[in-house]
Amino acid sequence: MVRSLLVLLFCLLAGWRASAQTDPAFEVPESARPPASSRPQEFATEFEITAGAQTLGSGDISDTYGLLPCGGIGLSWQLGDRTRLALSARYCRSEGDPYYDIPEFQSDQSSRLTSVPLIFAVRENLVPGGRTRFMAGVGLQIAWIQEKLPTGTNPEGRDTKSGYGIGLLLTLGPEWRTRDERRAVGIEFALGGCSADLGPDEGSHEVDLTGFHARAYVTMRLGGNSTTEVQP
């Protein structure tokens, strides 16, 4: 699934680059353009596709699974010149060796970690007025987490445990917009996440998914005008 999202991300990026190009024959010289400033259209809705990965918090989880790849989609809404509200859903999955700390034990069995986080975030543009933006934000993450562990000598047997976690994400990263403001590509880095106790109370164990996150994303405006021109 993550590979398919990366392919779709590349296709949208190619379309974004094509839309950013203009025909020189119809280009209006800078000296002939009236002075004006543009501001994002308030309440404009954008659709987002994203793909990335995150590190895992505790030693056991990190040593078992390494990185946790993620892909997802989202919507965001412009509020004023600087602020955007964003709602996204992601799917993260990784497989690992649960016997990594027992070198003398060889097994083909693997464990599987799955996370489905829902993230509500507020992002602030720290550099308004241009096509290059620098976005900082904070997000609330609520995640369903499941871990499947091999059981005994049965290669088909798996002990499945799941639970829910809640945590915060601090985000920071650049974003580049097309001239008409309808498309953008960005890179975001985040710190935080959540952890959860999986399984029944008497046999539960904690899975820590806090860590460092990195992702790339493409956004596309859904309908409406792109910007509002303000004459000085």
For residue 152, the model assigns a pLDDT of 58
| pLDDT of 225 over the 70 cut | no
The full DSSP string for the chain is -HHHHHHHHHHHHHHHHHHH---GGGPPPGGGSPP-EEEEPTT-EEEEEEEEEE--SSHHHHHHH--EEEEEEEEEEEETTTEEEEEEEEEEEEEE-TTTT-TT------EEEEEEEEEEEEEEESSTTSSEEEEEEEEEEEEEEEEEEEETTEEEEEEEEEEEEEEEEEEEEEEEE-TTSSEEEEEEEEEEE-EEEES-GGG-EEEE--EEEEEEEEEEE-SS-SEEEE--
Residue 225 lies in a domain: yes
pLDDT the model gives residue 84: 95
pLDDT average, residue stretch 47-75: 91
Better-scored residue on pLDDT, 16 or 197:
197
Q: In this model, does residue 36 exceed pLDDT 50?
A: no
Confidence category of residue 43, pLDDT binned at 50, 70, 90: confident
Answer whether residue 182 is part of any domain.
Answer: no
What confidence score (pLDDT) does residue 20 get? 46
Provide the mean pLDDT of the chain. Answer: 80
The CATH number of residue 167's host domain is 2.40.160
**Using one digit for the tens of pLDDT, what is the confidence trace for 137-182?**
999 999 999 998 877 555 555 688 899 999 999 999 999 999 988 9
pLDDT tens by residue, 186-224? 999 999 999 888 877 666 788 889 999 999 999 999 986
Task: Tell me the residue range of the domain where 141 lies.
Answer: 2-14+43-174+191-230
Give a yes or no: residue 65 inside a domain. Answer: yes
69: in domain: yes
pLDDT one-digit tens code per residue, 49-60: 999 999 987 778
Q: Provide the percentage of residues in the chain whose pLDDT is more than 90.
A: 48
Prediction pTM value: 0.74
Per-residue pLDDT, 140: 98
Q: Give how many domains the chain has, as a whole number.
A: 1
At 25 the pLDDT is 43
